[in-house]
Amino acid sequence: MFWERDIETMPRKELNRLQVSRLKKTLKQAGHSPAYGKIFKAHRITPEKIKTLDDLKRLPFTTKEDLRKHFPYGFVTVPKEKIVRVHSSSGTTGRATAVFHTLKDLEGWADLVARCMFMSGVRRGDVFQNMVGYGLFTGGLGFQYGAERLGALTIPSGSGNSKRQITLMGDFGTTVIHIIPSYALHLWKVFEEMGLDPKGDTQLRIALIGAEPHSDATRQRIEEMYGVEAFNSYGLSEMNGPGVAFECPEKSGMHFWEDHFIVEVIDPKTLKPLPEGEEGELVFTTLRREAMPLIRYRSKDLAAIFPEPCRCGRIHRRISRIKGRSDDMFILKGVNIFPLQIDTVLMTLAEVGTNYQVVLERENFEDKMIVQVEVRPEFFKGDLRQLERLRRQITESLKSEILVTPKVELVEPDTLPRSEGKAVRVIDRREM
């Protein structure tokens, strides 16, 4: 049931004690980096003063801007001879950041990923196909080392090359995949084109999906399309990458590993801590990192911490599905909208295909939202009135969720742009 029973079911009090002792060590370690050396001095912080977890709240935040300011080596605490790898964020929102690892860091990370995979049911004997980018992106090597640690046969197939992915699945009898959800939707269509059905023609049983915001409706679609159990996987390169938070078989929230990270939720505007259960920005403090510990790192990702214990028996708390980054939100006619809301509506409708895109435009000082939706090909063959009915239905469903009326355009499959990595869902042309 558990990869590391002692740690996963450790009583809360003991876990808190462990956190405090690791936090003290982390602060001491962090002080060795030029960046934190300066920050600690300016704020008169001495690690010895930290006695409880509450004391952490008096320390300043670390932001992506701080990482950029001290790029590349400013947050590194060890001599270069001890660093063995660098990873980088995908650069989804601006210049990428660099994160460095010692061998011990990489081992700790692999342990975490193995713990997550085991929790979702992956075992020795499974054939695991890792269908995301290898290289600076953390999803490739992060899962590779985690899966090897667990003992699964691992196929490092990388991203793209859909037909080959499908062939590999057949050749080696893949049972578990790691895949970006938007790509999973696309790949299903390639199966169809090849005259195959992932349900009957593969041995797949588990899909680990993450790296981008997606709704529960998308997860359910992937489960139905592939005949698998799909588990939400959350991570960010600044906190290693994958392995930060992961769903257990209860599939109600993602456990975050409190022996490796302290997680806080703050109001992104006031920066004040929010009570458990309220949604806000996730803030992370590493507890085991050697080369590049980070203190109160503001992730910009929005979620809530569930206070209730999980039925699976793990003590480590859970976060809700990530709503997106605070800067994913856009404002249209005074209404705040998250792309995830659109995902939820569209992916619930069976007529909707596997891709969509949101375009924001400004015309005569008026903002417009155009939602382009790929729909099943049969709608373009028959009665055009059927297509128009569907268009109206989608418009209504979107309106009742986001409270503004978008202009909906229905298009044929494979006509919208697609990315091999994280999907780009919103194109904002209003400032151009």
Interatomic CA distance for residues 240 and 294, integer angstroms? 11
Least distance from ligand ADP to the Cβ atom of residue 194, Å: 28
What token pair was written down for 70? 């001290």
Least distance from ligand ADP to the Cβ atom of residue 303, Å: 9
CA-nearest of 374, 405, 398 to 387 is: 374
Q: Which does 165 bind (CB under 5 to 8 A by kind): ligand ADP, Zn ion, none?
A: none
Least distance from ligand ADP to the Cβ atom of residue 348, Å: 18
Q: Which does 92 bind (CB under 5 to 8 A by kind): ligand ADP, Zn ion, none?
A: ligand ADP
Q: Should residue 408 be labelled a site residue for Zn ion when binding is judged by CB under 5 A? A: no
Answer for which of 310, 359, 370, 387 binds Zn ion (CB under 5 A) is 310
Least distance from ligand ADP to the Cβ atom of residue 329, Å: 12
Q: Nearer to ligand ADP by C-beta: 116 or 408?
A: 116
Q: Nearer to ligand ADP by C-beta: 9 or 320?
A: 320
Least distance from ligand ADP to the Cβ atom of residue 404, Å: 24
Interatomic CA distance for residues 424 and 25, integer angstroms? 40
Q: Nearer to Zn ion by C-beta: 88 or 320?
A: 320
Q: Which does 312 bind (CB under 5 to 8 A by kind): ligand ADP, Zn ion, none?
A: Zn ion
Q: Nearer to Zn ion by C-beta: 116 or 322?
A: 116
CA-nearest of 2, 5, 16, 11 to 259 is: 16
The number of residues that bind Zn ion (CB under 5 A) is 5
Q: Which does 129 bind (CB under 5 to 8 A by kind): ligand ADP, Zn ion, none?
A: none
Q: Which does 91 bind (CB under 5 to 8 A by kind): ligand ADP, Zn ion, none?
A: ligand ADP
Q: Which does 320 bind (CB under 5 to 8 A by kind): Zn ion, ligand ADP, none?
A: none
Neighbours of 193 (CB within 10 A): 13
Answer for which of 20, 312, 411, 416 binds Zn ion (CB under 5 A) is 312
Q: Should residue 116 be labelled a site residue for Zn ion when binding is judged by CB under 5 A? A: no
Q: Which does 250 bind (CB under 5 to 8 A by kind): Zn ion, ligand ADP, none?
A: Zn ion
Q: Which does 248 bind (CB under 5 to 8 A by kind): ligand ADP, Zn ion, none?
A: Zn ion
Q: Nearer to Zn ion by C-beta: 114 or 155?
A: 114
Q: Which does 282 bind (CB under 5 to 8 A by kind): ligand ADP, Zn ion, none?
A: none
Q: Which does 375 bind (CB under 5 to 8 A by kind): Zn ion, ligand ADP, none?
A: none
Q: Nearer to ligand ADP by C-beta: 91 or 307?
A: 91
Residues of the shown chain interacting with ligand ADP in the complex, contacts defined by CB under 6 A? 89-92, 137-138, 210-213, 232-237, 299, 301, 322, 325
Which region, judged by CB under 5 A, interacts with Zn ion, from 17-25, 147-155, 207-215, 307-315?
307-315
Least distance from ligand ADP to the Cβ atom of residue 211, Å: 5
Interatomic CA distance for residues 266 and 291, integer angstroms? 26
Interatomic CA distance for residues 112 and 245, integer angstroms? 9
Q: Nearer to ligand ADP by C-beta: 137 or 356?
A: 137
Contact 61, 284 (CB under 8 A): no
Q: Should residue 319 be labelled a site residue for Zn ion when binding is judged by CB under 5 A? A: no
Residue type, 197: D
Q: Nearer to Zn ion by C-beta: 136 or 304?
A: 304
Q: Which of residues 73-102 bind Zn ion (CB under 5 A)?
A: none
Q: Nearer to ligand ADP by C-beta: 143 or 234?
A: 234
Q: Nearer to ligand ADP by C-beta: 242 or 353?
A: 242
CA-nearest of 118, 120, 142 to 132 is: 142
Interatomic CA distance for residues 111 and 113, integer angstroms? 6
Binding site for Zn ion (CB under 5 A): 248, 250, 310, 312, 314
